Chain A
Amino acid sequence: DIQMTQSPSTLSASVGDRVTITCRASQSISSWLAWYQQKPGKAPKLLIYKASSLESGVPSRFSGSGSGTEFTLTISSLQPDDFATYYCQQYNSYSPLTWTFGQGTKVEIK
């Protein structure tokens, strides 16, 4: 099974900071990676799919990059609404689907 390792687990930052979260796969997953944002009591929200494609309606301060085994989610200028937990997810592009989530990164107010 493919394992996904996110770092850091917790990140303290201030409004306006540039924030980067890393996700590493235990083997190459090409660009089959998504990023989600989750706030307490809510379902996760898709931000990025296929490593770097921005989901419709998501602010352009969010961006994703990487391929193979190393991926990053960058928030160019952290906004108050961005304090949340972020998860990466690997997936395959054929049936049957298989997913694996990273353990999450909590972005806290510094």
Chain B
Amino acid sequence: QVQLVQSGAEVKKPGASVKVSCKASGYTFTSYGISWVRQAPGQGLEWMGWISAYNGNTNYAQKLQGRVTMTTDTSTSTAYMELRSLRSDDTAVYYCVRAGVGVKYGPWGQGTLVTVSS
């Protein structure tokens, strides 16, 4: 079955970077993209950006431009999201979602809690 499995929880200090992985299985990885969505505690869903697993094209949310980088490794069917210069308000659960162009979205990964605290 189609599945996205994310890396484990992280605790980081302000100013540090975090890199979250999302390993895909059950489908042809390069036929879809991956979106990243985060959710701060008690808050709503925030779209962070999207990467095409076919050609590596990206589109980042304006708010995160310059701090976020999304990449893929097609040899391992894994997507990565790196967020730099972490602040306390980056504390959130980070989700990856299979996101092809013109098709239904899903599934979602299980989420990765990133805690930013001094």
Identify the A interface with B (CB < 8 A). 1, 34, 36, 38, 43-44, 46, 49, 55, 87, 89, 91, 93-104
- The stretch of B11-19, B20-28, B96-104 that contacts the partner chain: B96-104
Query: Are A95 and B45 in touch, CB under 8 angstroms?
Result: no
Report which of A1, A44, A97 forms a contact with B99, defined as CB distance below 8 A: A97
Q: How many angstroms between the C-alpha atoms of A49 and B44 in the bound complex?
A: 19
Q: How many angstroms between the C-alpha atoms of A101 and B45 in the bound complex?
A: 6
Report which of A38, A89, A91, A96 forms a contact with B58, defined as CB distance below 8 A: A96
Interface residues in B, total, Cβ within 8 A: 24
Interface residues in B76-116 (C-beta closer than 8 Å to A): 95, 99, 101-102, 104-106, 108-111
16 contacts between A and B (CB under 8 A): A1-B62, A43-B108, A43-B110, A44-B108, A94-B101, A95-B52, A96-B52, A96-B58, A98-B47, A98-B59, A99-B35, A99-B50, A101-B37, A101-B44, A101-B46, A103-B44
Query: Are B45 and A87 in touch, CB under 8 angstroms?
Result: yes
Query: Are A96 and B57 in touch, CB under 8 angstroms?
Result: yes
Instruction: Return chain B residues, CB-CB under 8 Å to A97.
Output: 33, 35, 50, 59, 99, 101
Instruction: Return chain A residues, CB-CB under 8 Å to B44.
Output: 87, 101-104
Q: Given the interface contacts A104-B44, A104-B45, does A93 sit within 8 Å of B102 by beta carbon? A: yes
Instruction: Return chain A residues, CB-CB under 8 Å to B110.
Output: 43
Query: Are B50 and A98 in touch, CB under 8 angstroms?
Result: yes
Q: How many angstroms between the C-alpha atoms of A12 and B105 in the bound complex?
A: 29
Instruction: Return chain B residues, CB-CB under 8 Å to A89.
Output: 45
Query: What is the distance, in angstroms, from A89's C-beta to the closest C-beta of chain B?
Result: 8
Instruction: Return chain A residues, CB-CB under 8 Å to B104.
Output: 46, 49, 55
Q: How many angstroms between the C-alpha atoms of A34 and B109 in the bound complex?
A: 18
